[in-house]
Structure 1
């Protein structure tokens, strides 16, 4: 997994979780859903990169 992609994945997960929790506490469901989607995108990116790395070895 390249360092840049790993950083992107981690950033998306952290920012998504923060947005989701903050929006949920404020009662903004649409923004909470966007945060959850961002978090899921980060997890998917990390999984994709791990899979690519496993095929290389």
Structure 2
């Protein structure tokens, strides 16, 4: 997994957790949902990079 890609995926996950937390604390369901989507995007990016790494090792 490339360092930049790994950082980008983790940044999306962290950003999503913060948005979800703020949305939950302020009763802003759209912000909470946006945060969950950002986390999902980060997990997806991380998964894609893991697949790429698996093919590189083969």
Q: Which TM-score band applies after superposition, normalised by the shorter structure?
A: over 0.9
Gaps of 5+ in 2: none
Q: Spell out, residue by residue over 1:34-56, the C-alpha distance to the aligned partner (whole angstroms, 9 max, x if none).
A: 01000100000001000110011
Please give the root-mean-square deviation of Cα atoms over the aligned residues, in Å.
0.6
Give the aligned length. 57
Post-superposition, which runs of at least 4 consecutive aligned residues in structure 1 deviate over 2 A?
none
Q: Spell out, residue by residue over 1:1-57, the C-alpha distance to the aligned partner (whole angstroms, 9 max, x if none).
A: 101000000000011011101111110001110010001000000010001100111
Gaps of 5+ in 1: none
Mapping for residues 6-45 of structure 1, pairs under 5 Å? 6-45=6-45
**TM-score normalised according to structure 1 size:** 0.95
